[in-house]
Every structure is written in C-alpha cells, then in structure tokens.
C-alpha cells in the first residue's frame, strides 16, 4: 500500500456548479441582442443583473462584453456577444 500512500487524496466533490438552462440563456441572449441593437441603455442593467449566469455561460468573452457596455458602446457589445454565442454554439 505504499503506492496508495503516494496517490493524491481525493477530496469530496464540492457543490456542483449550477447548470445553465439553455432555454433561459437563449431568451436572455436574444433580449440582450435586441437591446444592444436598439442602443437601449436598459441592456446595461440586464447584463449586470445576470452577470453570474453570463460569466458562467460565456466564460472569457463576458469581460469584453461588459467593458463595451460600461463604455456605452452597444455596437461593440453586440458584436462581442454574437461572437461569444457563436463560439459556444448558440444561435442568435
């Protein structure tokens, strides 16, 4: 059992990360596309209210989208959102 003593100790799995509901994500992304397309400032609020879900779903793309929105550059935010969705296989 010298081998077993050298193996890493497996810790108990932590609480599983919540799964992203594909239908809810699709609705959210579609709504963001609509708001960014219209230069609607409420897109900023919607993005911020759903930050956790969007970070989880869009990964490294989220900070770029958020930065564009903070700068009120909704055209860039829209482009980055579409790129992020395409990279994740999400049709918008």
- What pLDDT does 6 receive? 61
Q: How far apart (Å, rounded) are the C-alpha atoms in residues 73 and 71?
A: 5
Two structure tokens written together for 49 = 């209210």
Report the predicted TM-score, pTM, of the whole model to 2 decimal places: 0.78
Cβ density class 36-75: b for 16+ within 10 Å, e for less: beeeeeebbebbeebeebbeebbeebbebbbebbeeeebe
Tens digits of pLDDT across the chain (92 residues): 655 556 555 544 444 455 788 999 999 999 999 999 999 999 999 999 999 999 999 999 999 999 999 999 999 999 999 999 999 999 98
């Amino acid at each position: 059992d010298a081998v077993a003593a050298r193996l890493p100790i497996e810790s108990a799995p932590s609480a599983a990360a919540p799964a992203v509901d594909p239908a809810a994500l699709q609705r959210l992304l579609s709504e963001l596309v609509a708001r960014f397309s219209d230069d609607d400032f409420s897109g900023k609020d919607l993005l911020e209210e759903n930050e956790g879900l969007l970070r989880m779903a869009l990964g490294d793309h989220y900070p770029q989208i958020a930065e564009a929105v903070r700068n009120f550059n909704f055209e860039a935010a829209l482009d980055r959102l579409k790129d992020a969705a395409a990279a994740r296989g999400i049709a918008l």
